[in-house]
């Protein structure tokens, strides 16, 4: 899953998992891929948790990202998502909903899917739980598997990496699989 071939324009992708499971790393990989190809991206940050320095180190060109911080207001985040998906020019519109994702009705999810298809924009929803249901073409679950530490043998003091497992939960038009992808992040 380190490649962004899973990112599809005109479709909704959900990345779900608990804190420190690698879901933000996967989001940053998508932002990096879009901005490296000179595309424009929008990130709706419901809890204002994005670290710009970390995103820059991950290779995201922040000058190609519209960053909307919602200060915990879930309704404002959903409204911004709905508006930006309909705006022309974005290759990717992402919502990082954090630990308390907003509720989307089935009708809202399908309207969002239609808007993504019409605008030919990739929509990525990131959070603890799935919110788009059948409106998402792809849903993946991230899970932390292992941590790597550096420092003295008996007392490692610095986290240097994390091994993450990604499992496909839903893939529209294909049977679900139990296969997991694994990668290390720093």
* Residue 69 lies inside a defined structural domain of this protein: yes
Give the single-character DSSP code of 20. Answer: T
Owner of token pair 């929803």 = 125
Residues of the chain with pLDDT below 70 are 1-5, 146-147, 149, 159-161, 173-186
Residue 98 maps to which CATH number?
3.40.50.300
The tokens describing 102, both together, are 């907003």
Q: In this predicted model, what pLDDT tens digit does every residue of 6-54 receive, in sequence order?
A: 778 999 999 999 887 788 888 999 999 999 999 999 999 998 889 999 8
* Residue 164 lies inside a defined structural domain of this protein: no
* Residue 102 lies inside a defined structural domain of this protein: yes
* Residue 158 lies inside a defined structural domain of this protein: no
Rounded Cα distance, 37 and 148, in Å: 32
Neighbours of 72 (CB within 10 A): 12
Question: Which pTM was predicted?
Answer: 0.82
Counting the structural domains of the chain, the total is: 1
HSE-up (13 A, CA, CB side) for residue 10: 3
């Amino acid at each position: 899953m380190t490649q962004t071939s899973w990112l599809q324009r005109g479709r909704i992708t959900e990345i779900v998992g608990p804190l420190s499971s690698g879901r933000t790393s996967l989001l940053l990989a998508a932002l990096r891929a879009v901005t490296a190809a000179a595309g424009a991206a929008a990130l709706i940050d419901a809890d204002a948790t994005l670290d710009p320095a970390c995103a820059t180190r991950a290779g995201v060109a922040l000058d190609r990202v519209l960053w909307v911080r919602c200060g915990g207001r879930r309704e404002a985040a959903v409204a911004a998502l709905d508006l930006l998906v309909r705006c022309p020019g974005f290759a990717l519109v992402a919502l990082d909903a954090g630990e308390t994702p907003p509720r989307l009705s089935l009708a809202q999810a399908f309207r969002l899917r239609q808007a993504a298809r019409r605008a030919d924009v990739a929509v990525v929803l990131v959070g603890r739980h799935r919110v788009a249901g059948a409106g998402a073409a792809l849903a993946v679950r991230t899970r932390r598997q292992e941590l790597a530490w550096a420092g003295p043998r008996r007392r490692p003091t610095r986290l240097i990496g994390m091994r993450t497992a990604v499992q496909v939960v839903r893939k529209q038009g294909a049977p679900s699989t139990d296969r997991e992808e694994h990668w290390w992040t720093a």
